[in-house]
């Protein structure tokens, strides 16, 4: 009985990996993230458990230092930001461990969030199961976990 459950669980896991890989092969991986209202984010993902802010001007300057992707994480309540290939952007002297999970978004989606939110501050928020990025009344979610998806 346990062996059958293990096999079916393994089969489901393999199927999920195949679906993710096929989506990547079909070119659907360029835009990572989706912008929703803050109210929708609260409804879908629950309330913010803790957060940290970064000035939007600072975030815009960091975007210039990466080509395709931006990754966020809150570590001990402080925001950490990586660029392509997990290169540290903020703080720039941070060396991320290989297995430290970051949340990857397309650089273009972060830029779109900043334009649509129009706020001087950007908030990185830890919710129950997700990490979201909010600017004004707009929230960016639906990130990829890195690892394993560090360069979709």
Please state, in angstroms and rounded to a whole number, the distance separating the CA atoms of residues 94 and 100.
Answer: 12
Please state, in angstroms and rounded to a whole number, the distance separating the CA atoms of residues 27 and 95.
Answer: 31
Q: Regarding predicted confidence, which is higher, 98 or 70?
A: 70
Residue 76, both tokens? 């001990």
In eight-state DSSP terms, residue 34 is E
Please state, in angstroms and rounded to a whole number, the distance separating the CA atoms of residues 117 and 98.
Answer: 32
pTM to 2 decimals? 0.79
Residue 92, both tokens? 């720039």
Strand order in the sheet with 102-106: 88-90, 78-82, 69-75, 102-106, 144-146
| Burial annotation 32-46 (CB, 10 A radius, 16+ → b, else e) | bbebbebeebeeebe
CATH class for the region spanning 32-146: alpha beta
5: pLDDT strictly greater than 60: no
Residue 23: per-residue pLDDT: 44
- Other beta carbons within 10 angstroms of residue 129's beta carbon come to 7
Q: Give tens-digit pLDDT for 107-145.
A: 999 999 999 999 999 999 999 999 999 999 999 999 999
Q: Give tens-digit pLDDT for 9-62.
A: 443 444 345 444 434 434 445 799 999 999 999 999 999 999 999 999 999 999
In eight-state DSSP terms, residue 66 is -
Residue 130, both tokens? 């997700």
Structural domain boundaries of the chain?
A: 1-30, 32-146
């Amino acid at each position: 009985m346990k062996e059958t459950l293990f096999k079916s669980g393994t089969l489901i896991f393999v199927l999920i990996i195949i679906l993710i890989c096929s989506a990547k092969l079909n070119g659907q991986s360029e835009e990572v993230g989706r912008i929703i209202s803050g109210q929708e984010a609260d409804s879908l993902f629950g309330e913010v458990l803790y957060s940290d802010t970064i000035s939007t001007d600072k975030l815009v300057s960091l975007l210039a230092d990466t080509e395709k992707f931006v990754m966020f994480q809150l570590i001990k309540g402080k925001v950490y930001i990586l660029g392509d290939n997990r290169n540290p952007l903020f703080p720039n002297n941070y060396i991320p461990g290989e297995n430290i999970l970051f949340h990857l978004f397309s650089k273009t989606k972060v830029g779109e969030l900043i334009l649509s939110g129009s706020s001087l501050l950007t908030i990185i928020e830890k919710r129950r199961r997700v990490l979201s990025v909010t600017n004004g009344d707009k929230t960016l979610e639906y990130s990829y976990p890195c690892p394993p998806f560090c360069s979709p």
